[in-house]
Amino acid sequence: MRVTSQHWEEFLSVAERHPALITSKFNGAQGKAKGNALWTSVATKLNSLGFGEKCVAEWRRAVTDWKSKTKAKASRLRLSSSQTGGGPVDATPLTPLENKLLLLMGKKGFEGDEGVKEMGILHHLHNPLNPLVFLSENDFDVLCLCEHWLVYNDLLQVNISNFTLISSYCRELTNSHGGVAIYSQSNVKLTGVNVDNFCVSQHAEFCAAEIDEKNTVIVSVYRSSSAGDITIFKEQLER
């Protein structure tokens, strides 16, 4: 079923009274149970509008996707505004519902901490090209790899010219698929962050590194579509 503006109006009216629906922070000993009960109530309200039905997990996924798309749209508008020096912005403006959602998310929720910028993926290599040729023709400071198919001891033997392995996560199985890693050149001072417990709890492959004194975190993540509901993973990642 297609989610309409009426669905979002109804959802936001509830979220104004229960902002944890937006922030995903259900605190207290019974926080998870109360959160599940609230989402069940929200799903019932939204389904009662008569445009079709979604289960609780589907509604949570729809909200997470809407938040992500709205954050991205707001980021594009801020970038466009900065490039034009405050002049006319060549981008679709936010709708009243999107503005309301961002207000409920709070400034930190959609802009991030002051001084921290979400860089995203600057170059995405997914075509069947020779990666060594690709590296020789492009100038990168940091490489984020997914699906290297190596266990840790084998990964240590990989030599990428001018790059150093900073952080990685490998399944400890022989010839296992998967695996993520972050490499950097010597001019970038990176410190690896141990997030192995997060990987295990979320059934994901995830590694992270901080750029020293820059308030910047780089992540490389792979999560199989068979690992369960992506909504919960996104909510945990946002926390």
Same domain, 157 and 72: no
Domain assignment present for residue 168? The answer is yes
Q: What is the pLDDT of residues 95-127, one digit of tens each?
A: 999 999 988 887 544 444 444 444 444 445 555
Residue 18 placed within a domain = yes
**Total number of domains in the chain:** 2
The answer to the question of residue 119 being in a domain is no
CA 45/CA 39 separation, integer angstroms: 10
Please, what is the angle between helix 56-83 and helix 230-238, to 10°? 50
Q: Is 61 found in the same domain as 157?
A: no
- Note whether residue 66 is domain-resident: yes
Question: Could you tell me if 39 and 102 lie in one domain?
Answer: yes
Q: Are residues 37 and 92 in the same domain?
A: yes
SS3 call for 30: coil
Same domain, 103 and 148: no
Q: Are residues 142 and 105 in the same domain?
A: no
Low-confidence ranges of the chain (pLDDT < 70): 28-29, 81-91, 107-138, 171-177, 213-215, 225, 227-239
Q: What would the pLDDT profile of 194-207 be if each residue is shown by its tens digit?
A: 887 777 777 778 88
Q: Beta strand pairing status for 190-193 and 163-169?
A: unpaired
pLDDT given at position 107 = 52
Residue 234 has a pLDDT of 66
Separation of alpha carbons 129 and 144, rounded Å: 16
121 inside domain: no
Q: Could you list the residue range(s) of the whole structural domain that residue 50 is in?
A: 5-111
Whether the model pTM is above 0.75 = no
Of 82, 111, 140, at which residue does a domain stop? 111
pLDDT value of position 201: 73
Here the CATH number for the domain that contains residue 174 is 3.60.10.10
Contact 193, 167 (CB under 8 A): yes
Asked whether residue 122 is domain-assigned, the answer is no
| 151 shares a domain with 218 | yes
Same domain, yes or no, for 79 and 146?
no
> Which structure tokens are listed for 208?
């992270």
